[in-house]
Amino acid sequence: MDPISDGRLTLEGFSVAARAFADKWKRHNQSFPPWSWVPLINRTLLVSNKQEEGYLSLEKIFILSSLEESPEEESLDVTPDFLDKEESIDHTILVQNVENEAHYYDFHIVYSASYGVPVLYFRGYCSDGKPLSLDVIKKDLPSSSVSLLLESKWTFITQEEHPYLNRPWFKLHPCGTEEWIKLLSQRSSSGGCQMPVELYLVSWFSVVGQVVGLRITLEMLN
């Protein structure tokens, strides 16, 4: 398959890149469960003849916000930056919730045909299945990602419908992805700006994963 030069993937390219990414993840990130490929054959009685269509899924990831920083410290550092004054009034209550409850996250990597890039969808929920609001989720995010979300006008979280599950999920908006992937591929290979399809999702996730606190190992980029 031709290398990527314009920052975009085709549907077929996504399928190839997704499998390569899942393989590398399994080999180099053994502390995490593997990503699984969810094929979209026969969804809701429709029969897809595109066998390559599907998405990557990593579910029930337990995230402890205290791994990054202690909750007190995080709330001091982070709150004034992204919360309005009115909202920070309930802040103490929310922090208590964060401390007391286990939070689980599901992550899906879905191809966007409109933007020609992968999109990270995610949702958080408590052990009883109750969904987490964005305000609560932001407290679970590493503080570095909060600043990333603030600095870059292209990286932001929105709540939208999961394209295949018919339910509200959060996603990192893909409208800037093509541009920063181009920059990334220029930096990685001296001179040219080409990236093998197999490395696309690894490079992409090295940026996107950080936002949600999932880091990839350096070996994966080789």
Which residues are known catalytic residues?
175
Helix axes 71-82, 143-151, angle to 10 degrees: 10
CB closer to other proteins, 34 vs 131: 131
Residue 89 sits in the site that holds other proteins (CB under 8 A): no
Amino acid at 220: M
Residues in contact with other proteins, shown as a per-residue x/- string from 154 to 173 under the rule CB under 8 A: ----xxxx-x--xxx-----
Q: How far is the CB of 7 from other proteins (least distance, A)?
A: 11
What is the spatial distance between Cα 72 and Cα 26, in angstroms, rounded to a whole number?
34
CB closer to other proteins, 32 vs 164: 164
Pick one of 5, 30, 36, 51: the residue that binds other proteins (CB under 8 A): 51
Residue 113 sits in the site that holds other proteins (CB under 8 A): yes
Residue 43 sits in the site that holds other proteins (CB under 8 A): yes
Q: How far is the CB of 62 from other proteins (least distance, A)?
A: 21
Of 10, 29, 8, the C-alpha closest to 209 is 29
Q: How far is the CB of 194 from other proteins (least distance, A)?
A: 19
CB contact at 8 A, 126 and 136? no
Dihedrals φ, ψ of 55, to 5°?
Answer: -145, 165
Q: How far is the CB of 32 from other proteins (least distance, A)?
A: 27
Q: How many CA atoms lie within 13 A of 8 on its CB side?
A: 9
Residue 196 sits in the site that holds other proteins (CB under 8 A): no
CB burial of 99-114 (b: ≥16 within 10 Å; e: otherwise) equals eeeebbbbbbbbbbee
* Residues of this chain that bind other proteins (CB under 8 A): 41-49, 51, 113-115, 131, 158-161, 163, 166-168, 175
